[in-house]
A and B are shown apart, each in its own frame.
Chain A
Amino acid sequence: EADIYQTPRYLVIGTGKKITLECSQTMGHDKMYWYQQDPGMELHLIHYSYGVNSTEKGDLSSESTVSRIRTEHFPLTLESARPSHTSQYLCASSDLAGETQYFGPGTRLLVL
């Protein structure tokens, strides 16, 4: 069973607020990822990291930013939330071989 955690699980905020979605894993995985998923739709990669101080943008353009200061922690930040950011955000991690990714439970974000 994967040990990857996301907080908060649910978040309702107003437009213009700054938010940070937390993701942490206790498996010592080097690689971490953020996906965005609208209800009933496929997952789209928005950010990934191959290790500390490494961050890259994914296939889907996103106004969010990420940081990787510690191996186990990969937070995602929205400086000014908008209704178009309403979605589910999923964090995942994999070991250095990267063959299998394990997902957290997700954060469901609603921006009013």
Chain B
Amino acid sequence: GQQLNQSPQSMFIQEGEDVSMNCTSSSIFNTWLWYKQDPGEGPVLLIALYKAGELTSNGRLTAQFGITRKDSFLNISASIPSDVGIYFCAGHQNPGYALNFGKGTSLLVTP
């Protein structure tokens, strides 16, 4: 599968701070997805992006599908302790094909 580069690998922030993470690919993707995974659980879909340039929000989360179709970012505003977890970007070049995953960004939030 296509390798996705996700950064940063980990973040350690204080409650209330904003967070930004991004994902890049060497190939054009048609779909970008952002998931959050808690320890011992399956990934939960946060935001799905289907069109280049698309900017979508889900509460305090905002994600964008890059214009070049080779990148995406996720922002979390005013972080809270329950934001702790691993955030994965994922995407695919053709719908229905298996997703390519980034290696994840581990987020720790201190009160």
Contact = CB atoms under 8 A, between A and B. Distances in A.
Interface stretch (B14-22, B40-48, B61-69, B72-80): B40-48
| Interface size range of chain A in the complex | 20 to 34
Contacts, number: 64
B99 interface: yes
Main secondary structure of the interface of A (DSSP, over half): loop
Contacts of B35: 103
A79 B41 CA distance: 25
18 contacts: A31-B96, A40-B104, A40-B106, A42-B101, A43-B43, A43-B101, A45-B99, A50-B96, A90-B42, A92-B42, A99-B48, A99-B50, A101-B90, A101-B99, A103-B42, A104-B42, A106-B41, A108-B40
Interface of B: 1, 31, 33, 35, 40-45, 48, 50, 86, 88, 90, 92, 95-99, 101-104, 106
Interface of A: 2, 6, 31, 33, 40-43, 45, 48, 50, 58-59, 88, 90, 92, 94, 96-106, 108
